[in-house]
Structure 1
C-alpha cells in the first residue's frame, strides 16, 4: 500500500494486493467447489416489473359505418363517434377507456342493426297490406271489420 497503513484501502488497487488463493494451504481432503477454468455465474434474483401489453380490441369503425349507411342512421352516427373515440384512445395507449368506447360502439352498432331490420320489416308489412288494399279496390271487394284481411 502506498501509505504504509495496512488498514487503508488504496482506491486504485483495492483488493489486488492480496496473496493468490491457491498459495494458501487447505486442509487435507478439501477441494475447491469449482475448478479455476470454470466460469462464475451471476444470477440476478431481484424481481423486475413486468409490463403486460394490453390487447387492442376491435374498434367497430367499419361495422358502425355500414350500420349508419344501411340501417338506422341516427344511432349509426353515434356508433361511428364511439368507434372513432375508441380508436383514438387505443392510439394514445389508454386501453381501458378504449375498451369502454369499443363496447359502446359495438352496442350502438348492434342497436342500429336491430332498428334497421325492424324498420325494414315494418315497411315490408305495410307495403304488403297496401298492395292488398289496392288489389281489393280494383276488384271492388272490401274487407270490413278486420284491418288485416284475415
Structure 2
C-alpha cells in the first residue's frame, strides 16, 4: 500500500489481507486555512434492568409430589408452572403471588409427608412392642404351666 506524507492510503493501490483500510483525506482547495475538528459528545445511557423473575420452586414441588404428599404437590406444580406463564405475560405481581403459593403448597406437602413418616414410625414401634409383649406372655405361660397329667411307661395315671 502506498501512503503519502500524512499516512493516507492512496485510492489507486490494492489492499492486501491484514492491511487497514483508510479512506482518503477530503479534498480541500489549496490555500484554504479551514481546519475541521470533530468532537464526539459523551453518551450517557440509562441502563434499564428487567425485573428478575421470581423463583418458581418447581424442583421442590416435584420432590414433594413424588416423595411426600402428592395431592398437594400436584397443586404446587401447577402454581410453579403458573409463575413462568405470568412472567412471560409481564404480570410480575401475579408471578410473585404464584411463586408464594407454589412455595407454600410445597412446604405444606412436605410437612404432611414428614408428619406421615413420623406417625408411621410411632405406629410400627407401638405395634412391635405390643406384639413383643403378647409373645412374651404366651411364652411365659407355656413355660410356667405344668401339665396336670403325668405319663408313665404303662399309661396315664
1 CA distance for matches of 2:39 and 2:83?
Answer: 51
Normalised TM-score (structure 1)? 0.60
**What 5-or-longer segments of structure 2 have no aligned partner?**
1-33, 139-157
Partner of 1:62: 59
Scaled by the length of structure 2, the TM-score of the pair is 0.58
Which residue of structure 2 aligns with residue 131 of structure 1?
Answer: 128
Any idea what the Cα deviations from partners look like across 1:91-125, whole Å, max 9, x if unmatched?
A: 22322211110111011111111111011101101
1:96 is the counterpart of 2:81: no
Shift of 1:126: 0.8
Candidates 87, 105, 127, aligned match of 2:102: 105
Q: CA deviation at 1:49?
A: 7.9
Whether the aligned pair in 1 keeps the contact of 2:54 and 2:83 (CA below 8 Å) is no
Higher RCO (Cα < 8 Å, 6 or more apart): 1
CA distance in structure 1 between the aligned counterparts of 2:43 and 2:110, rounded to whole angstroms: 56
Deviation at 1:44, TM superposition (A): 7.9
User: How many pairs does the alignment contain?
Assistant: 107
Give the whole-Å Cα distance in 1 for the aligned partners of 2:43 and 2:124.
Answer: 77
- In structure 2, how many angstroms separate the alpha carbons of the residues matched to 1:100 and 1:137? 55
Q: Quick check: which has more Rg, 1 or 2?
A: 2
